[in-house]
Amino acid sequence: MYAFEIDRPNTLADAVKALGAEEAQALGGGQTLIPALKQRLASPARLVALSGVAEIKGICTGDDGALCIGGGTTHADVAAGAGAYPALAALAANIGDPAVRNRGTIGGSLANNDPSACYPAAVLGSGATVVTTNRQIAADDFFEGMFTTTLEDGEIITEVRFPVPEAASYQKFEQPASRFALVGVFVARFADGVRVAVTGASEEGVFRWSEAEAALSKDFAPAALEGLSLSGDGMISDLHGSGDYRAHLVAVMTRRAVAAAG
Amino acid sequence: MPEVSMTVNGKPAKGQIEGRTLLVDFLRDTLGLTGTHVGCDTSQCGACVVHVDGRAVKACTMFAAEAEGAEIRTIEGMAEPDGTLHPIQAAFREHHGLQCGFCTPGMVMSAAALLAENPTPTEAEVRDYLEGNICRCTGYHNIVKAILAASGQDVSRIAAE
Ligand SMILES: Cc1cc2nc3c(=O)[nH]c(=O)nc-3n(C[C@H](O)[C@H](O)[C@H](O)COP(=O)(O)OP(=O)(O)OC[C@H]3O[C@@H](n4cnc5c(N)ncnc54)[C@H](O)[C@@H]3O)c2cc1C
Ligand code: FES
Ligand code: FES
C-alpha cells in the first residue's frame, strides 16, 4: 500500500468537507477498497472513513412504504433488519462470508458496481432510488457499466430507497472461489409489472432483461420464459465460464427466481 | 504519527500508527500478538479473523485507525489466564480440528462468533459460517465436528471421513 492519511469524521457534514480535499476517497467497509489498495490499484492521498457516521446507518420504512437503508449499513445489518423485504435480506445474507458482511456496506457495493456484485441486481431489479449528498438517482440512471456509476467525486451514498414488491427473489449461481455471483438474477413483481435484473453476466455490468420482463408481466410463471434466450455476445468470458455459458445460466437463474418468488 | 487506543483482550492498548496500518499489523507488530495470522493478500482466507465489538472481522481488511475505542478479542484472549483452553480450543484438540494450525486462530474466532449468535448450529450452518475460513490441511470435517462438539452436541455418530 502507498501511504495515505485517514480521517474518521462523525458527521456527514464533516465527511463531505473532508472529501473536498485533494485526492480524497471515501472508505466504506473496506472489503473491496483495502484489497485494491494492497495491490496498489488505488493511491488516494487521504481516506475518509464513513464507519463513524451514524446518520447514514440503519433501516427504516418511509411514508410511501419504501424500505430505506442507510448507505453505511453493513450487509449483516441488512440481512438481520430488512425483514420487510425478505428477498433483499436473503441477498445480503449471502454476500461473501460473515466477516465480509460485518464490514461491507451497501453504499460501498453500489459505488463500486462490480459486474458480479449482488446489490446492483437488487437495486435495479427493485427500481430503487439511490440518495446521495447531492441528489436522488433512479436505479435506471445510476449504473453506467463495469465499475462505473453516475456518482461524482466526493459524492456519498447516504441512503437507498427500495419500493417493496409483491413477490421477489434473488438467485445467485455462486463462483465458489470468489464468493461473488457467476450469474445472479433478481426478479421482482410489482402491481404494475415485473422487473428482472441480471448481474455477473454482461461486460456492461448489471442490466435489465426486458424480454423476460414483458413475458413475466403477462404471466408470472417459469413457463412464460420458454423460448426466451440471450446471446453470449457481450457476456463476460473467463476461466470460470464462457459468454454462452453465462447467457444460458441467466435463463436458468431467472426461471429459478420466478419459481422461488411464487 | 497518529496514536490509536483500544481494548485488546480486556486490557487497554495503544500505539503509533500510519493511516495504512492494518489492524492485523497493529496486533502482531505493535502489540506482539502474533496468534492472529495472515494467510493471503486478498481478504479471502480468514486466518486473521478477530472480534471487533463482538463481531467477526478480517483484521487484514480493516485499518487500525478504525478500531479507535473498540473492544478487540484475539485468539490470545480465548484461554483462561491459567492456560485452561477455551471449550472451542479444547474441542479442536480433542477432535483433531487442526494439522499445521495456520488457519486455526481464524477458525476458532469464527466458531466463537457463530456460537455466540447460534449456540446449537446444524452441521450445514457451521459449514456455511466457515465459508470465509480456508484450511489447506484438514478437509474441514474435523473442524466442523469440533465446533459441533464445542456447542455441546453429540458428535459420536459423525464418522471421520
Ligand atoms: C471474500 C469476499 C467476498 C465477497 N463476496 C461478495 C459477493 O458475494 N457479492 C457481492 O456483492 N460482494 C461481495 N464482496 C464485496 C463486498 O460486498 C464489499 O463489501 C463491497 O463490494 C464494497 O463495500 P464496502 O463498504 O466494503 O466498500 P469499500 O471497499 O470501502 O469501498 C468501495 C468503493 O466504494 C466507495 N464508497 C464506499 N462507501 C461509499 C458511499 N457510502 N458512498 C459513495 N462511495 C462509497 C469507495 O470510495 C470505493 O471506491 C466480497 C468481498 C470479499 C472480500
Ligand atoms: S489474511 Fe487472508 S483474509 Fe485476512
Ligand atoms: S490446519 Fe493447516 S491450514 Fe488448517
Q: Are residues A156 and A210 in the same domain?
A: no
A6–B19: do the CB atoms touch at under 8 Å? Answer: yes
- Please report the pLDDT score of residue B159 as a whole number: 64
Q: What is the pLDDT of residues A21-47, one digit of tens each?
A: 999 999 999 999 999 999 999 999 999
- Please report the pLDDT score of residue A25 as a whole number: 97
Q: CA-CA distance, B36 to B24, in Å (whole number)?
A: 7
Q: Are residues A103 and A153 in the same domain?
A: yes
Q: What is the average per-residue pLDDT within A91-116?
A: 97
Q: What is the pLDDT of residues B68-104, one digit of tens each?
A: 999 999 999 999 999 999 999 999 999 999 999 999 9
Q: What is the pLDDT of residues A216-257, one digit of tens each?
A: 999 999 999 999 999 999 999 999 999 999 999 999 999 999
Domain-located, residue B34: yes
What's the CA dihedral at B69, B75, B78, B80 to 10 degrees?
-110
Q: Are residues B53 and B21 in the same domain?
A: yes
DSSP letter (8 states) at residue B28: I
Q: Are residues A112 and A133 in the same domain?
A: yes
B15 burial class (0-12, 13-18, 19+ CB within 10 angstroms)?
middle
Q: Are residues B108 and B136 in the same domain?
A: yes
Domain-located, residue B158: no
Q: What is the average per-residue pLDDT within B15-43?
A: 97
Q: CA-CA distance, B46 to A75, in Å (whole number)?
A: 18
Q: What is the average per-residue pLDDT within A7-14?
A: 97
Does the CB of A54 have a partner CB in chain B at under 8 Å? no
Of the residues A127, A162, A197, which one is the last residue of a structural domain? A162
Structural contact between residues A8 and B68, judged by C-beta atoms closer than 8 angstroms: yes
What's the CA dihedral at B95, B101, B102, B106 to 10 degrees?
40
- Please report the pLDDT score of residue A114 as a whole number: 96
Q: Are residues A200 and A128 in the same domain?
A: no
Q: Are residues B21 and B49 in the same domain?
A: yes
Does the CB of A53 have a partner CB in chain B at under 8 Å? no
B41–A103: do the CB atoms touch at under 8 Å? Answer: no
Q: Ligand 2 within 6 A of B47 CB?
A: yes
Q: Ligand 1 within 6 A of A117 CB?
A: yes
Domain-located, residue B141: yes
Which ligand 2 atom is at minimum distance from the Cα of B40? 2
Q: What is the average per-residue pLDDT within B21-39?
A: 98
Q: Are residues B40 and B92 in the same domain?
A: no
Q: Are residues B9 and B43 in the same domain?
A: yes
Angle at A43 between CA A37 and CA A48, to 5 degrees: 80
Phi, psi of A137, deg, nearest 5: -125, 125
Question: Quick count: other Cβ atoms within 10 Å of Cβ B41?
Answer: 11
What are the chain A neighbours of B43 within 8 Å (beta carbons)? Answer: 31, 34-35, 100
Under DSSP, is residue B119 helix (H, G, I), strand (E, B) or coil?
coil
Q: Are residues A131 and A219 in the same domain?
A: no
Q: Are residues A19 and A149 in the same domain?
A: yes
Q: CA-CA distance, A51 to B145, in Å (whole number)?
A: 36
Residues of chain B with pLDDT > 70: what percent? 98
Q: Which residues contact B59 (CB under 8 A, 6 or more apart)?
A: B22, B23, B24, B27, B36, B48, B49, B50
Domain-located, residue B155: no
Average pLDDT, whole number, for chain B? Answer: 96
* Mutational pocket test of ligand 1: of A4, A105, A206, the residue with most ligand atoms within 8 Å of the beta carbon: A105
Give the number of the ligand closest to the Cα of residue B40: 2
Q: Are residues A209 and A141 in the same domain?
A: no
Residues of chain A with pLDDT > 70: what percent? 100
CATH of the domain at A243: 3.30.390.50
- Please report the pLDDT score of residue B22 as a whole number: 98
Give how many domains chain B has, as a whole number.
Answer: 2
pLDDT at residue A127 above 60? yes
Q: Are residues A118 and A174 in the same domain?
A: no
CATH of the domain at A147: 3.30.465.10
Reported ipTM exceeds the 0.85 cut: yes
CATH of the domain at B47: 3.10.20.30
Does the CB of A240 have a partner CB in chain B at under 8 Å? no
Nearest CA in chain A to B106: A99
Q: Are residues A31 and A89 in the same domain?
A: yes
What are the chain B neighbours of A97 within 8 Å (beta carbons)? Answer: 46, 131-133
Q: What is the pLDDT of residues B123-155, one digit of tens each?
A: 999 999 999 999 999 999 999 999 999 999 999
Q: CA-CA distance, B61 to A38, in Å (whole number)?
A: 10
Give A47→chain B minimum CA distance, Å.
8
Q: What is the pLDDT of residues A164-209, one digit of tens each?
A: 999 999 999 999 888 899 999 999 999 999 999 999 999 999 999 9
Does the CB of B18 have a partner CB in chain A at under 8 Å? yes
Q: Are residues B66 and B98 in the same domain?
A: no
CATH of the domain at B143: 1.10.150.120
Q: CA-CA distance, A244 to A207, in Å (whole number)?
A: 17
Q: CA-CA distance, B57 to A80, in Å (whole number)?
A: 17
Q: Are residues A237 and A177 in the same domain?
A: yes
- Please report the pLDDT score of residue B144 as a whole number: 97
- Please report the pLDDT score of residue A194 as a whole number: 98
Does the CB of A190 have a partner CB in chain B at under 8 Å? no
Q: Are residues B8 and B71 in the same domain?
A: yes
For helices A119-126 and A86-93, angle between their N-to-C axes, nearest 10 degrees? 170
Give how many domains chain A has, as a whole number.
Answer: 2
* Pairing of β A167-174 and β B49-52: unpaired
End-to-end Cα separation, chain B, in angstroms: 52
Nearest CA in chain B to A5: B19
- Please report the pLDDT score of residue B157 as a whole number: 78
B34 burial class (0-12, 13-18, 19+ CB within 10 angstroms)?
middle
- Please report the pLDDT score of residue A177 as a whole number: 84
Of the residues A162, A181, A206, which one is the last residue of a structural domain? A162
pLDDT at residue B160 above 90? no
Domain-located, residue B157: no
Considering CB atoms only, which of B19, B44, B55 is closest to A102?
A: B55
Q: Which domain holds residue B133?
A: 87-150
Q: Which domain holds residue A208?
A: 167-261
Structural contact between residues A119 and A112, judged by C-beta atoms closer than 8 angstroms: no
- Please report the pLDDT score of residue A5 as a whole number: 96
B1: pLDDT confidence band, cut at 50, 70 and 90?
confident
CA of B87 to the centre of ligand 3 (A): 19
- Please report the pLDDT score of residue B158 as a whole number: 78
